[in-house]
Chains A and B, each alone.
Chain A
Amino acid sequence: MPSLTVALTGNPNTGKSTIFNELTGAHQKTGNWPGVTVDKKEGYVNYEGYDISVVDLPGTYSISTRSAEEQVVIDYFQHNTPDIVLNVVDSSNIERNLFLTLQLLEMGIPLLIDFNMKDEAKKRGMSVNMHSMEQLLGMPVVETIGRSNKTMQKLLDLFISIDMKRADPSGMLKEYIDSIETIRNSNKPIHVIEEDVVAARYAMIDRIVEKTVTFSETEESCSEKIDRYLANGMFAPIIFFLILYAVFQITFSWIGQPITTILDHLICVSFAGYAGDFFCAVGVSDWLRSLLVDGIISGVGAVVSFVPLIFVLFFCLSFLDGTGYMARVAFIADPFMRRFGLTGKGIMPLMLGFGCAVPSIMGARALDSEKDRIISMLVAPFLTCGAKLPVMALLAAVFFPDHAANVVFGMYLLGFIVAIFAAKLLGVTLLKNDTAAFLLELPPYRMPDMKTVFLETWDKGKGFLVKAGTIIFVCSVLIWFLSKYNFHGFAAQMSESFLALLGGGVSYLFVFHGFATWEAGAAIISGLFAKEVVVSTLGVLYGLADADTERAAEQANLFLKSGIGTDFTALSAFSFMVFLQLYTPCITALGTIKKEAGSWKWTGFSAVFSFLTAWVVSLLVYQIGKALGLG
C-alpha cells in the first residue's frame, strides 16, 4: 500500500489540533517527545488506498529555540523529511502566522499552506486571494473552514495528489531568502542580526499581505464584547469563581463523584463481597483470600474509582480551554499570582488542587517553564482536596463541635496560604532562574471542537489509569500487607500488625506535637495511601467498626466517647489536623508527580518537603498554643 507522512505545524490557536483530531480520530498515539514534557501526537488515516501517517508538531509562534516546543519542531525537521508539511495558518490573523511560515521556508522546507478559519476571517472583514498567494510564494495553498467533513475531504484529496517536490519558491521568495542569507552573513553582532532578520521578515509579510489580503470595516467583534465582561476589571474574577464553582459542582457533586461512589461500591463492596464468598467456597486459604480481596481488589478499586473524577474534570477543562477562556483566566489572575513568583497561567492548576491534587499536578503541564511546572506540582498537595475534607470534618466535629465549620474553613485557608508561600520560597531558593515573561495570546472565543475535547479527556484519563495506576496498585498491596501482618504471620487485629508497629515508631516524631500515640502514627501512615483512609483507620483503631466518611458529624459523639477523647486535647487535635492537612501527598498524587515530572528526584522531594513543612507548622501550632495557655 502506498504510504505518506504528513507533518502539521503552525501557531497555537489556529485549529491545527482540531484538524489533526478530525483527520485521525481515534487512531492516535500520544507520548512525550524525548527528554521534554511536550506532548507528541501521531495518528494514522487510511484514505483511497493510501496509508497516511500524520504527526502533530507542537504549536509555536516561531522556531528560534526559546522553548522546549520550538526545539522539538527544529529537531523534527533536522531529522525527518515528511512527504508533506502542512502549515496551518489562521486566516483572521495572517500577519503573525506568516512569521513562522517564512521561517520554515527560509529553512528550505517546502510547505502546503492551509489558510484555515476562512469563515472567521470573513466575519472580521478579511479575505485572502488564494491565487495571488500561490503565485507570490510559489507554494501550494488551500483554504479551509476548520472542522467539517468537507475540509477533511479537501485536505486528504490534496495529500494524495500533491507532489511537494514540484513546489518551487517564487522569484520574490527566492529573493527574500537570499536577502535573509545576506543579513545572516554580515559582520554585525549576533543580536543585531537576529533583529534585522525579524524586521526583514515582517517587511516581507507586509508586502505579502498588501498584495493578497483585502480588509473591510467591521463592527467590534463578538470576542471583544464578551471580553468586556470576562477579562476586564473587577467583574472578571467574580465570573471566574462562578465558572470554577460550576466545574467543581459538576465534578464533585453532580456527575463525577456520584459515578465514583457507585463504582467504588460495585468494586470494593459488591464485587469484593462476591469474590470473597467465591474464594471461601472454593477453599482458598485465608491469607490469599485477604490478599485478593482486601489488597488487590481494593487497590484496583482505589485506582478505578478515581477515573470518573479525572474524566469529568478534564472534560470540563478541555472544553473551557477550547473556548479560549483559559487564556482570560490567566490574564485576570496574573496580578495575584505574580506576587508569589508564578504567572497567571498557574492559577487553574492550583485551584484544581481544592478538588484533587491529581488533576492539579497533571494540569501543571500547561505552564510555560519547567520551574513553574515543578513549583505548581510541589505546592498543590498542600491544599484541602476532596479526600482531606472528610478527615477535617470529622476531627473538627469531634473536638470543636461549636466551631466545626470555622475550623474546617481555617484548614482550607491554611492550606492555601502554605501553598502560595511555599511557591514563593521554592521560587527564590531551589528553583530560581529565569522569571519567564508573561506574553499570552488572547485568542478569539470559539465553540470547542467536541472531538478534540473528547480525545483530550480520554488521553488524560488513560494516562492516569496506566501510569499512576501501576504505582497506586503496588502501594495498595503494600499497605494491605502492613495492616494484616506481623512478624508472626497473619495479624488478627490491626493493633498487632506492622502498621501499628510502624505507627508506634512514627509516633516518636510527634513527641513535641502532643499526639505521640501509635494510633495517630498508624493513621498518618495509612493516610499516605489515600487521605480519606485516615477516617476509617481512626475508626478501626478506636473501635468503631464502620467509620463512615459521609456522616462525620453524627459520629463525632460516638468517637468522643471512645479512646480518642483521652488521647487528644483540643490543641493537640488541632495540631494533628494541621499536620494531616499539609503532610506528604497520597501515593496517587506522588505517582502522578513521578509521571509528570518524569523523575524520582522530584517525587521524593515532594514527599519529604511536604512532610517537613507539615512537621514544622504543626509543631509551631502546638508549642505556640501551649505557650499561650490554650492546651
Chain B
Amino acid sequence: MTLRDGKAGMVLKVKHVADSDLKQRLMAMGIIPGTQIKVLRSAPFGDPMAVRIRSYNLALRREDATMVEVQKIS
C-alpha cells in the first residue's frame, strides 16, 4: 500500500520512496525508509491528509502520498 491509502488513526512504516521530483523534499522532511508515520486526519473531501512524522505534523496531498510506499503496523 502507499501513504495515499492511509486512514485516520493508522500507524504506518515507510518502505520505499518512489523516484520523483518530490523525492528529495519528502526525504528532507523526514520521510525515509524505516520512518513511522501516523495518519491524523484529512481536510474536507478527504484530501490533503495530515500525518505525524518524527514529532511534527505535516500536511500533504494524497496524490503526492502515492510516492510513499508503506506497510501497516497498526
In the complex the two chains form, is A442's CB within 8 Å of B59's CB? yes
Q: What is the predominant secondary structure among interface residues of chain B facing chain A?
A: mixed
Using A124-B55, A335-B48, A442-B58 as known contacts, say yes or no to A62 and B28 having CB atoms under 8 A apart.
Answer: yes
In the complex the two chains form, is A236's CB within 8 Å of B43's CB? yes
In the complex the two chains form, is B25's CB within 8 Å of A332's CB? no
Any chain A CB within 8 A of the CB of B11? no
- Residues of chain B within 8 A (CB-CB) of A199 are 27, 32-33
CB distance from B14 to the nearest CB of A (A): 11
Any chain B CB within 8 A of the CB of A331? yes
- When C-beta atoms are compared, the residue in chain A nearest to B50 turns out to be A442
In the complex the two chains form, is B30's CB within 8 Å of A96's CB? yes
- When C-beta atoms are compared, the residue in chain A nearest to B41 turns out to be A232
Q: Which of A95, A331, A443 contacts B30, CB < 8 Å? A: A95
In the complex the two chains form, is A334's CB within 8 Å of B43's CB? yes
Q: Which of A399-407, A433-441, A563-571, A580-588 makes up part of the contact surface?
A: A433-441
Interface residues of B in 26-40 (CB under 8 A from A): 26-30, 32-33, 35, 40
CB distance from A484 to the nearest CB of B (A): 54
In the complex the two chains form, is A438's CB within 8 Å of B30's CB? no
- Residues of chain A within 8 A (CB-CB) of B53 are 96
In the complex the two chains form, is A194's CB within 8 Å of B57's CB? no
CB distance from B64 to the nearest CB of A (A): 5
- Residues of chain A within 8 A (CB-CB) of B19 are 191
Using A234-B44, A331-B50 as known contacts, say yes or no to A441 and B60 having CB atoms under 8 A apart.
Answer: no
Complex CA–CA separation, A437 to B41 (angstroms): 19
- Residues of chain B within 8 A (CB-CB) of A333 are 43
Using A66-B25, A198-B28 as known contacts, say yes or no to A334 and B48 having CB atoms under 8 A apart.
Answer: yes
Count chain A residues whose beta carbon lies closer than 8 angstroms to a beta carbon of B.
44
Count chain B residues whose beta carbon lies closer than 8 angstroms to a beta carbon of A.
33
Using A344-B48, A437-B22, A438-B61 as known contacts, say yes or no to A335 and B32 having CB atoms under 8 A apart.
Answer: no
CB distance from A367 to the nearest CB of B (A): 15
Q: Which of B23, B41, B55, B60 contacts A228, CB < 8 Å? A: B41
- Residues of chain B within 8 A (CB-CB) of A194 are 24
- Residues of chain A within 8 A (CB-CB) of B45 are 335
In the complex the two chains form, is B44's CB within 8 Å of A327's CB? no
Any chain B CB within 8 A of the CB of A177? no
Using A93-B55, A96-B56, A441-B58 as known contacts, say yes or no to A61 and B28 having CB atoms under 8 A apart.
Answer: yes
- When C-beta atoms are compared, the residue in chain A nearest to B20 turns out to be A437
CB distance from A101 to the nearest CB of B (A): 13
CB distance from B26 to the nearest CB of A (A): 7
Any chain A CB within 8 A of the CB of B42? yes
In the complex the two chains form, is B44's CB within 8 Å of A438's CB? no
In the complex the two chains form, is A335's CB within 8 Å of B55's CB? no
Q: Which of B32, B42, B59 contacts A202, CB < 8 Å? A: B32
Using A66-B24, A198-B27, A334-B48 as known contacts, say yes or no to A96 and B61 having CB atoms under 8 A apart.
Answer: no
Using A64-B28, A66-B25, A95-B54 as known contacts, say yes or no to A440 and B59 having CB atoms under 8 A apart.
Answer: yes
CB distance from B63 to the nearest CB of A (A): 9
- Residues of chain B within 8 A (CB-CB) of A231 are 41, 43, 50
Any chain A CB within 8 A of the CB of B47? yes
Using A331-B50, A335-B48 as known contacts, say yes or no to A438 and B24 having CB atoms under 8 A apart.
Answer: no
8 pairs, A vs B, C-beta closer than 8 Å:
A61-B29, A93-B56, A95-B55, A198-B28, A198-B32, A331-B43, A344-B48, A437-B60
Known: A439-B26, A443-B57. 9 other contacts (CB 8 A): A93-B56, A195-B24, A227-B40, A227-B50, A228-B41, A234-B44, A236-B43, A334-B47, A440-B58
Listed in ascending order, the chain A residues whose CB lies under 8 Å from chain B are: 61-62, 64, 66, 92-96, 99, 124, 126, 191, 194-195, 198-199, 202, 223-224, 227-228, 231-234, 236-237, 327, 330-335, 338, 344, 437-443
